A and B are shown apart, each in its own frame.
Chain A
Amino acid sequence: MTARKLTSEQIDNLFELCDYYHISYYDIQIELVDHMASAIETLWATNPELPFEEAAFMVGEQLGGKSGFISFRETKAKELRRKYSRMQWKYIEEFFQLPKIILTLVMTFILYFIFQHSNDYMMIISIIQFMYIFFILASGSIFIPKKLRLKIISDKEFLLYNFFKNFRNSVAVIGIASFNILLFSLRQIHKMFDSTSIFYFNTQLLIAFMITSLGIMIYAFGVYSPLRIKEDFVREFPQFVKS
C-alpha cells in the first residue's frame, strides 16, 4: 500500500492555516507548510485513517499554536535584520581600513581642495544642496537604476521583499535627516563667524570628511544593502521575479 500523501487542496488548507495564525509572508509560509505536511504524513504512516483536520490541528499545536507561529515569524525577521545590518556595517568599515580607506581619503581631499580654492560659504552650501536634491530625486524612485529595482510577479507578500522596500524608505528618512543636520550645522558656523571665508584648514577638512562619510553611509544603506537583499531574493525565489 502506498503511503498517504497530502492533496494540493490540503496543502492550500495549510497555507490558509498560516494566514489564520497571522503568518502572511509567503517565504515563511513555504517552510511552515512543508514542515506541517511532512509531520502529517509521518502521522499517517502509522495511522492512515486519521482525518486531515485532526492531524493538522495536532501538528499546529506541536508548533506552538498561534504564539508559536508568531514567534517563528519574529525570529526570522530578527535574523534577517541582523544579517543585513552586519553586512552593511562591515561594508562601511571597509572604507575606513586598507585598501578602501585610500578611496575615502581621495574623496575627502578632492572636496577639501575644492573648498580650499574657493573657500566660499555659498559654494560649499551649493555642493551639499545639489547632492541633497539628487538624493531626494533618487530616493523618490526617479533616478533608480534598473539593477536597484525589484518587481515581483506574485500577489503574495514576502518578508524579504518587504525588507527591500523598507530599506529604501529608511534610507530616505536617514538621508534627509543627515543632510538637514549638515546644512544646519554649516549655517550655524557661518552665522558664528559672519564671514564668507570662515572655513579654515581644520573646518574645511572636517566638512570634506563629513560629506564623504555621509556619501559612504548613503551608498551603503541605499545601494549596497538593497542589492544584497535583491540578490538573495532572486536566488531564493527566481520564479517570482518579474524580469
Chain B
Amino acid sequence: MYIIVAGGGKVGYYLTKTLLNEGLEVLLIERDHDKVETYSERFGAVVLEGDAAEASTMAAAGAARADVLVAVTGEDEDNLVICQMAKHKFHVPKTIARVNNPKNEELFKKLDTDVTVSQTNYILGLIEQAIPDRAFIHLLTLRHADLAIIEATVSDASPVANQAISEIDLPVSCVIAAIARRAEVIVPDPSTVLLPNDEIIAITHRSEEDELRQLIVVD
C-alpha cells in the first residue's frame, strides 16, 4: 500500500508519522523548504519538496502507482485540485480531501473526491454529543445514501408523545429504528406508542432531519 500525503501542516505531519509507524509506504509532499528539511531529519527520505497540484511533483512522487492520495493542506481549493489531478491525470484509485470550511463539504461530495474529512464538522459533532441533555443528536451521516442516523428524546409537549407510530405523520423517508425506554430497548411496530422521554433512534433522509427535529422535540 503506497500512500501520498499532500500538505505538511500539523495534520499532514501527524498523519505521516502514524502511517509510517503502521509500516505503510508513505510520501509526504510539502512546499516549504524549511519544513521539508525538518521532516526529512525526523522521517528520513519520505519527504518531497514541491507543489502537489503540479503534475511534475506528482510524477516525481510516483503518483501513478499510489493507492491512496490524502490532501490535507489548509486551503480547500488546493485540496480539491490536488485530488482531482491525482484522480484524472494519475488515476490514483482513492483520493481523500480535508475540507476546512464546512460550507464546502457539499461541493466536495458532489465532485469526485472519494472521501471528505471535515475536521470542523467532526469537532462540532463531538461537541454536540458531549453536551448532556441535548434533545436531538445527529449520530452519523451515511454519505452515499444521503441518510443520517439521529437520536432524539420525545419531549412532553411533542405532538408525537402518547401516539402510536402508525398515527404519526412522519417525514416520508424516515424510519424509527429503535426506542430506548428506561433500561429497555424496543424495536417498534406500527402499534407502538411513543411516550415522553423515550429516546428514539431514527434513520432519515438528511433533507428531512429538520422536519423530524421539529416533530419530536418541542420545547
Whether both chains belong to one complex is answered with no
Which residues of chain A have a CB within 8 Å of any CB of chain B?
A: none
Which residues of chain B have a CB within 8 Å of any CB of chain A?
A: none
